[in-house]
Amino acid sequence: MNRKIKLFDIGEFGLIERIRKGTATQPDVVLGIGDDCAAVVLPATDLLLTSTDLLLESIHFRLDWTDWFMLGRKCISVNVSDIAAMGGTPRYITLGLGLTKDHPVDHIEQFFAGVGAAAKDYDVALIGGDTCRSPGPLFVAVTILGSVPPDEMISRAGAHAGERLYVTGTIGDSALALALLQRGERPPEALAQRHHNPAARTLIGRELARLHLATAMLDISDGLLGDLEHLLTASAVGCRLDGRALPLSKAFAASLSNDPELLNLALNGGEDYELLFSSPAEKAVAIEQLSATTGLPITCIGTLLADPAARQMTDHLDRAFDLPAKGYNHFCD
Amino acid sequence: MNRKIKLFDIGEFGLIERIRKGTATQPDVVLGIGDDCAAVVLPATDLLLTSTDLLLESIHFRLDWTDWFMLGRKCISVNVSDIAAMGGTPRYITLGLGLTKDHPVDHIEQFFAGVGAAAKDYDVALIGGDTCRSPGPLFVAVTILGSVPPDEMISRAGAHAGERLYVTGTIGDSALALALLQRGERPPEALAQRHHNPAARTLIGRELARLHLATAMLDISDGLLGDLEHLLTASAVGCRLDGRALPLSKAFAASLSNDPELLNLALNGGEDYELLFSSPAEKAVAIEQLSATTGLPITCIGTLLADPAARQMTDHLDRAFDLPAKGYNHFCD
């Protein structure tokens, strides 16, 4: 008999036991999976950071486009990215999982292998969660706990007029991969990786905080313009983006040369998980050095303006125009 | 025009803004809703406690049996109960909410009014979360953060042979209410309240911890016998339950006198959210005093035995018999 073992066969506690066995013990985790709560030790003087993300089948992912391992990785990366965006250190994750009872156990094990691989990459521990049977789509609820010294935390609200606006890495790759998938095309591997296996910028986020290089920061999850809007509103400043400076990957630039409309994906596409931050001009050299030591581009893409209503952009001929704010909105799009 | 405002009308950020406005500011919350992460200050020497619960429409609740306010309350209470079960102080909650875009906004506002009422009762702050559109059932993912002094934390694993087993309040009420609802009957108000509006035993849990009265503890969410099994396994002890001592409410006892089979609901019914704990005999007087000062029964329901395989119970004629372990299992029942 070659029937796959289903969740039904091992039950909830069998599943939890399999997950528990896959987690490493570490001294700061006083109680891990298996009690009413997990109990952990945090650095005494740090602030506790936390963020929750929901990921739903058919809304946030499709299992015919990704695999269970990659999905597990991505669920952790997108949540860790929120800690990176505060300049913090990610430490612990809890995971809620809504599954049908017909899911083969080996899929769930691949999912947790992906979770475990990401946890190892980011040095975070899975300490708890909940599982239940869902009559609807597969869904994942991830909560990350991290910490940051109080004087190093970077919110969205600290930017000032005259400062520069920077973005890490390249933008639009994930959205372009998704657009190709939606058209039934196979995206180039470099783009597909950016969509299915994004990397949280924890090292750069932490260094920007430790070295006090950023005055406001967030991660780009809803698209550059949408997330930029959050930074501008929170900091009460305006901006002028330099359209020629937008950092694009080779794969993205190649597609763009065939279809100029794709620029919209770099501006409004989501799931870049790059960091967008403001910084005073005198920190520019230190930021260049950080880019050099981490091997990741950090690009100045504009300037912050005193007029909080200003939303300008210059095109390839340096002509300024007003740009509309737009991001992904879960209940309206 | 009298059309109800739908989620579609206000969008995700409109919803978040409404939620944010309903939360109070407090000095230990450095950053609340609206940034990449929330940031809070924890007592420096305490352990951080955390637990996640998932609640799904049609699995954990039915909106024709409860209302949105009560649902909001219950989501918080059941999660806070896990902190009570460790002897900790609940402090912060994050809330993930999967909604269809057709949900009327006033339902969501009632839900958050219930969340807010519970948050006030337990002195916890809603500091973050995520919302998204669900093509399937309504679901809620709640994560509680709390804290406890390291020497006061009560896990499931500290019970010893010879100690007494106690339970707070009364058991079976919630399960009986659910059984009546499932039969299409209207449960008596006292029972309905226990099902739709359970109270987390935070005060008693905290006092048991502070006064070092309990050696092992958990909350009864999956049924007395199922959760007792967790305590016995974790502590490697057996037990003899006194069947005559099971604390039953007047409403439950009245139903039981008509149908003796209902005793099964007191033993195996879920969602009591009472505390089950072990305690040495010399603490009995202190526990009686705690019961008197809090006004809640705390009943000795048995003794722990050295044989870790022993699962005994005495009936109303003091005859001992072996009891089968059973709890709710999400993927098998």
Backbone angles phi, psi at B249, to 5 degrees: -75, 165
d(CA A52, CA B46): 23
Give the percent of chain B with pLDDT over 90.
Answer: 70
B128 at A interface, C-beta within 8 A = yes
Residues with Cβ within 8 Å of residue A148, at least 6 apart in sequence: A46, A47, A49, A86, A87, A88, A89, A209, B39
pLDDT at residue A326, rounded to an integer: 54
Per-residue pLDDT reduced to its tens digit, B249-279 = 999 999 999 998 999 999 999 999 999 999 9
| Chain A residues 196-225 with a CB less than 8 Å from chain B | 218-219
A329 to chain B, closest Cα gap in Å: 6
Helices marked H in chain A: 7-21, 68-84, 105-122, 173-182, 189-196, 202-210, 224-235, 250-258, 263-268, 284-294
Q: What is the pLDDT of residue B208?
A: 98
Mutate to test the interface with B, among A13, A17, A52, A95 (most CBs of B within 10 A): A52
How many other β-carbons are positioned within 10 Å of the β-carbon of residue A23? Answer: 18
Give the pLDDT score at B1: 42
* Cβ–Cβ gap B48/A218 under 8 Å: no
| A16, A18, A50: best to mutate for the B interface, most B CBs within 10 A | A50
Please give the residue that has the higher pLDDT: either B163 or A66. Answer: B163
Cβ neighbours around A19 below 10 Å, total: 23
Cβ-nearest to A86 among B36, B52, B330: B36
Two structure tokens written together for B185: 């009957």
Q: Which residues of chain A have pLDDT under 50?
A: 1-2, 327-330, 332-333
Contact A48 B40 (CB under 8 A): yes
| Six-digit token string for B122 | 């337990």
| A45 chain-B contacts, CB cut-off 8 A | 44
Tens digit of pLDDT for each residue in B210-260? 999 999 999 999 999 999 999 999 999 999 999 899 999 999 999 999 998
**What residue ranges in A109-179 does DSSP mark as E strands?**
125-133, 139-148, 164-168
Q: What is the pLDDT of residues B58-110, one digit of tens each?
A: 888 888 888 999 999 999 999 999 999 999 999 999 999 988 777 788 888 89
Q: Does B146 touch chain A (CB under 8 A)?
A: yes
Measure in Å the smallest separation between the Cα of A33 and chain B Cα atoms.
10
Main-chain dihedrals φ then ψ at residue B32, nearest 5 degrees = -100, -140
Helix H, strand E, coil C: the string for A80-99 is HHHHHCCCCEEEEEEEEEEE
Task: Identify the band that residue B288 occupies on the pLDDT scale cut at 50, 70 and 90.
Answer: very high
**H or E segment and range at residue A221:** none
Total residue length of chain A: 333
A 32-51: CB under 8 A from B: 34-42, 44-45, 47-51
Q: Which chain A residues contact residue B50 at CB under 8 A?
A: 37-38, 40, 92, 94, 127-128, 143, 145
What is the Cα–Cα distance from A85 to A209, expressed in whole angstroms?
Answer: 10
Sign of CA dihedral B1, B6, B12, B13: positive
Residue A101: its chain B contacts at CB < 8 A? 331-332
- The number of C-beta contacts closer than 8 angstroms across A and B is 243
Nearest to B274 by CA among B191, B213, B173, B201: B201
Which residue among A39, A130, A218 sits closest to B54, beta carbon to beta carbon?
A130
Residues of A whose CB is below 8 A from B139:
98, 134, 136, 139
The pTM score is: 0.91
Beta-carbon separation of B330 and A148 below 8 A:
no
Give the model's pLDDT for residue A4.
Answer: 67
Average pLDDT, chain A: 90
Q: Which residues pair with A216 in a beta bridge?
A: A278
Phi and psi angles of residue B136, each rounded to the nearest 5 degrees, phi first? -105, -145
Work out the percent of chain B whose per-residue pLDDT is above 70: 92
Distance between CA atoms of B120 and B234, rounded to whole angstroms?
34
8 A C-beta contact, residue A78 and residue A221 = yes
The answer to whether A274 and A169 have CB atoms below 8 angstroms apart is yes
The domains found in chain B, sorted by start residue, are 7-152 (3.30.1330.10), 164-322 (3.90.650.10)
